[in-house]
Chains A and B, each alone.
Chain A
């Protein structure tokens, strides 16, 4: 129920001048006071007569003192206040609905971008928190492999995170029926099973998409409260929006997995042509990523760097075995053919829309900081950052790998070599970063799993 004070009513921008003029027009001493007796409007001079109360819905909200005209004024103010209270009541209802709309709008706006279950749950709980009172909240999700229900998020006094729950009581009914429920007095409900925390009222809804029910969400109140049918409606709508998105995210993850597997398989296939490179791609990837982290690349940049590192030599697919695997000295023409591989790689990747961003990293990995590289002869920071990193990782690994016709450098010798080429072949800043990086750790990480990682992060 909306409340109103005589003071706020009289001070209202449009009403204030009217009230003052009306009092003057009455041509008799009048005093209008609020409930506490603070004067709001007073005529000059002494005021006598009766103090008439201004009564709104049974409550006195102020006083008008004076002769019988004051009584009339008190009635008029009471009437106006009554209308104002009605307006406010209707208004708060309208505002409540409007707020719900903004929540749903906001949810529909934010959620399609969420591909992680945890993000989806975070948004869901935040939206519910803004709309409905509760002291505890649990999101319980079905683990498809084990078939068990596990607490995936919890707020306040509810089940602890990670608890495996056998659906019993009310939750079991909701899980079985797929229909949300309000239980305002849990102790009066026969299905209620004692919880490890205090609960008086609760609301429970399935996380249901078109296809299936992926879990349950429950909010509870330690103190008795009254959840309304409208609360449940909003609660269920938000829950199902989240459920649909969770299903979408699974599809997305599967596709992403398939994509990464393809990329890595492709890179491995190319590598296999030259048995002596043995795991080169994987090491270039690990070294590059390690340097990327040292220089503080963002997660998105690291993903692109990783893909570029994995695919940097993909253009070698277009170089004949007789040239690629030749052990003797290359002729000029053969050398020229090998030098085509960065551009060939770029051409192959240009057909894959999702990989456009990594093309510069692949095409420019044989450019040199001093401008004496190929294919373009770019120099300095003109060269793509990923390419500048991959250049060091690639060269370092080539130097430390044994070849049939020569023994590889030791790590120390190779580091020395990298340092010696700083500012000529390599970007000195990246060389510094390379020295700051735990290259051995990256090396062991690459060796630990000889197959290229096919799982997305």
Chain B
């Protein structure tokens, strides 16, 4: 069963992402969520989702840290990671590349873009 993980510490963003991706549940996609970096990493290790929508700015363990940990562990490095960054917030593209993120999107995100990306990665 294909899996999508959503990670954001802000509940309303998490909710909007859930609402967006929920459409894929009809295709048998399992939706997972986490509200912090540590939990996210545990879920990625246990569930091995195909794609992760990962907020950059989170307290304690940031999205960069999670991404770095995932991409540097051989059995998880295939995970497709979409970094989510707030518009206006100084985003270091170079840093995103350094930690191996596959792509980044800015918030407010366009729900269609998120859905299309998930479909593309999951081959739906």
Contact = CB atoms under 8 A, between A and B. Distances in A.
A8 B20 contact: no
A347 interface: no
A8 to B, nearest CB: 4
A98 B87 contact: no
A8 B26 CA distance: 7
Given A91-B19, A105-B87, A99 B30 contact: no
Contacts of A88: 19, 22
A99 B25 contact: no
A105 B108 contact: yes
Interface string A1-22: 0000100100111000000000
B110 interface: yes
B32 interface: yes
Contact of B109 (A8, A94, A102, A130): A102
B121 interface: no
A94 B108 contact: no
Given A92-B19, A105-B87, A98 B108 contact: yes
Given A94-B16, A98-B16, A13 B32 contact: yes
A423 B70 CA distance: 55
- Best-surrounded residue of A5, A8, A12 (most CB of chain B within 10 A): A8
B16 A95 contact: yes
Contacts of B22: 88, 91
B8 to A, nearest CB: 14
B111 interface: yes
Given A91-B19, A92-B19, A94-B19, A101 B108 contact: yes
Given A8-B26, A13-B30, A13-B31, A98 B111 contact: yes
A72 B96 CA distance: 52
Interface string B17-53: 0011010011010111100000000000000000000
A189 interface: no
Nearest to B32: A13
Contact of A99 (B15, B26, B32, B112): B112
Contact of A95 (B1, B26, B32, B111): B111
B31 to A, nearest CB: 7
A106 interface: yes
Nearest to A109: B87
A116 B28 CA distance: 46
Contact of B26 (A5, A94, A98, A130): A5
Nearest to A9: B25
Contacts of A5: 26
Given A11-B30, A13-B31, A13-B32, A99 B110 contact: yes
A288 B10 CA distance: 57
Given A11-B30, A13-B30, A130 B112 contact: yes
B108 A95 contact: no
B101 to A, nearest CB: 21
A99 B113 CA distance: 11
Nearest to A88: B22
Nearest to A105: B108
Nearest to A16: B30
Contacts of B28: 11
Interface string B59-101: 0000000000000000000000000000100000000000000
Nearest to A13: B32
B82 to A, nearest CB: 16
Given A101-B108, A102-B109, A105-B108, A95 B19 contact: yes
A212 B68 CA distance: 54
A286 B115 CA distance: 51
B72 to A, nearest CB: 27
A8 B15 CA distance: 18
Nearest to B24: A8
The 9 A-B pairs with the shortest beta carbon distances in the complex, nearest first, are: A91-B19, A8-B25, A102-B108, A102-B110, A95-B19, A99-B111, A13-B32, A98-B16, A105-B108
9 contacts: A91-B15, A91-B19, A94-B19, A98-B108, A98-B111, A103-B110, A105-B87, A105-B108, A130-B110
Interface of A: 5, 8, 11-13, 88, 91-92, 94-95, 98-99, 101-103, 105-106, 109, 130
Given A13-B33, A91-B15, A94-B15, 6 more contacts: A88-B19, A88-B22, A94-B19, A95-B16, A130-B110, A130-B112
